[in-house]
Homo-oligomer: A and B are copies of this chain.
Amino acid sequence: MHLFRHIALLPILGLAVFTANAETVARVESPGKVLAVELDITEGRLAYRVLRFGEPVIDDSRLGFQLRGAEKLERNLALSSQTTRSHDETWEQPWGESRFVRDHHNELRARFTETIAPNRSFDVLVRVFDDGLGFRYELPEQPNLDEVIIDDELTEFALATPATAWWIPAGEWNRYEYLYDRTPVEQVTQAHTPMTVRTDDGLHIAFHEAALVDYAGMWLRRTEGRRFRAQLAPASEGWKVRRNAPFHTPWRTLQITDSAAALYASSDLILNLNEPNRLGDVSWFEPAKYIGIWWSLHLDTETWATGRKHGATTKNTKRYIDFAAEHGFRGVLVEGWNPGWDGDWFGNGYDFDFTRATPDFDIEALSAYATSKGVRLVGHHETACAVSHYEEQMEAAFAMNARLGIDSVKTGYVCDAGGIERRLDDGTVAREWHDGQWNSNHHQRVLEAAARHKVAINAHEPIKDTGLRRTYPNWVSREGARGMEYAAWGNPTNPPEHETNLVFTRMLSGPMDFTPGILSLQGRGQAIQTTLAKQLALYVVLYCPLQMAADLPENYARHMEAFQFIKDVPADWAETRVLDGEIGDYVTFARKDRNSEDWYLGSLTDEHGRLLQVPLSFLDPGRTYTAQIYRDGDGAHWQDKPFAFAREQREVTSADVLTLKLAAGGGQAIRFVAR
Interface centre among A130, A608, A622 (most CB of B within 10 A): A608
Interface string of A46-77 (1 = CB under 8 A from B): 00000011110000000000000000000000
Q: Is A673 an interface residue (CB 8 A)?
A: no
Please give, as numbers and ranges, the residues of chain B lying within 8 Å of A640 by CB-CB distance: 54
Query: CB distance A608 to B55 under 8 Å?
Result: yes
Q: Which of B265, B608, B613, B661 interacts with A201 by CB under 8 Å?
A: B608
Interface centre among A580, A616, A617, A659 (most CB of B within 10 A): A617
Query: CB distance A202 to B258 under 8 Å?
Result: no
The distance in angstroms between the C-alpha atoms of A54 and B531, with both chains bound, is: 14
Do A54 and B664 contact each other (CB < 8 Å), given the known contacts A585-B201, A585-B202? yes
Query: CB distance A655 to B617 under 8 Å?
Result: yes
A contacts with B, residue count (CB < 8 A) = 48
Please give, as numbers and ranges, the residues of chain B lying within 8 Å of A608 by CB-CB distance: 52-53, 55, 201-203
Q: Is A499 an interface residue (CB 8 A)?
A: no
- Mostly, the A contact residues are loop
Residue of B nearest to A663 (CB): B53
Q: Is A611 an interface residue (CB 8 A)?
A: yes
The distance in angstroms between the C-alpha atoms of A52 and B610, with both chains bound, is: 9
The distance in angstroms between the C-alpha atoms of A664 and B57, with both chains bound, is: 13
Q: Which of B32, B53, B611, B664 interacts with A55 by CB under 8 Å?
A: B664
Residue of B nearest to A635 (CB): B33
Residue of B nearest to A130 (CB): B611
Query: CB distance A582 to B202 under 8 Å?
Result: yes
Q: Is A259 an interface residue (CB 8 A)?
A: yes
- Could you pull out 24 A-B pairs where Cβ atoms are within 8 angstroms? A32-B661, A33-B635, A34-B609, A34-B661, A53-B608, A53-B637, A54-B640, A130-B611, A201-B608, A202-B586, A202-B608, A203-B608, A258-B586, A258-B611, A262-B613, A615-B615, A615-B617, A617-B617, A617-B654, A617-B655, A620-B655, A621-B653, A621-B654, A654-B654
**Interface pairs A-B: 4 shortest CB-CB:** A53-B609, A617-B617, A202-B585, A615-B617
Q: A202-B582, A202-B608 are in contact. List 16 more A-B contacts (CB 8 A).
A: A33-B634, A33-B635, A34-B661, A53-B608, A54-B609, A54-B664, A201-B585, A257-B611, A258-B586, A265-B613, A615-B615, A616-B617, A617-B654, A621-B621, A621-B655, A654-B655
